[in-house]
A and B are shown apart, each in its own frame.
Chain A
Amino acid sequence: AQSVAQPEDQVNVAEGNPLTVKCTYSVSGNPYLFWYVQYPNRGLQFLLKYITGDNLVKGSYGFEAEFNKSQTSFHLKKPSALVSDSALYFCAVSENTGGFKTIFGAGTRLFVKA
């Protein structure tokens, strides 16, 4: 069974600095990996996904994520954080088994300070 871990409950970053939100996963086969964002009082939004191909995946709002198979990680990154990036971020994983049962991590709250 697949699982995903987000080791940090909270990440604090100053505006303009680069940010990283960490994610590690465990699957039996090839992973499908995703990041979602949940802004206060708004629904969950899909940010980006890795299925195959380039290890660096670009997504919405200037975010990108790097797939590292040897470290089983899929960290979310952004070169320059904005205050408006403050939100709850979820990493998720599916196994490439023909179905798409998608498991979410516990979430990491990002605070970007002006």
Chain B
Amino acid sequence: GAGVSQSPSNKVTEKGKDVELRCDPISGHTALYWYRQSLGQGLEFLIYFQGNSAPDKSGLPSDRFSAERTGGSVSTLTIQRTQQEDSAVYLCASSLKTGGQPQHFGDGTRLSIL
């Protein structure tokens, strides 16, 4: 069956450029999470969507980061004016509302800022 799909799997871009990362959650999953994993580090919470509720954006590191979720399904994480410290693997996860915690993770997007 289809899992959480993220695209692109790898992205290399120059410092200062904008990037968009996409997450397609499992069908019917109302909760969607974005995390960032830097090399050798743990998972850093970025943002959490739950159904039609206002997203929890408390983990976004700066105003260069934004995310949206259209129609309660696909989500896009946008990083404007990228910096080298943005280089990381960006992970998306989804879960059923009743499950709560991030249940299924995508394979991530590896972002490299030159």
Chain A: residues with CB nearer than 8 A to chain B? 6, 32, 34, 43-46, 49, 51, 90, 92, 94, 99-107
Please state if B41 and A100 are interface contacts (CB–CB under 8 Å).
no
Supplied contacts A43-B106, A99-B50, 11 more A-B pairs, CB within 8 Å:
A6-B42, A34-B101, A43-B91, A43-B107, A46-B102, A100-B95, A100-B100, A102-B101, A104-B35, A104-B45, A107-B43
User: Do most interface residues of chain B lie in helix, strand or loop, or is the interface mixed?
Assistant: strand
- A48 CA / B67 CA spacing, docked (Å): 29
Are A44 and B91 CB-contacts (below 8 A) given A100-B48, A100-B50, A101-B48?
yes
> Which among A49, A90, A102 is the interface contact of B33 at CB below 8 angstroms?
A102
Max chain A Cβ within 10 angstroms of own Cβ: one of B53, B105, B108: B105
- Beta-carbon contact of B106 and A92 below 8 Å: no
Residues from chain A with a CB closer than 8 A to the CB of B42 are 6, 90, 104-107
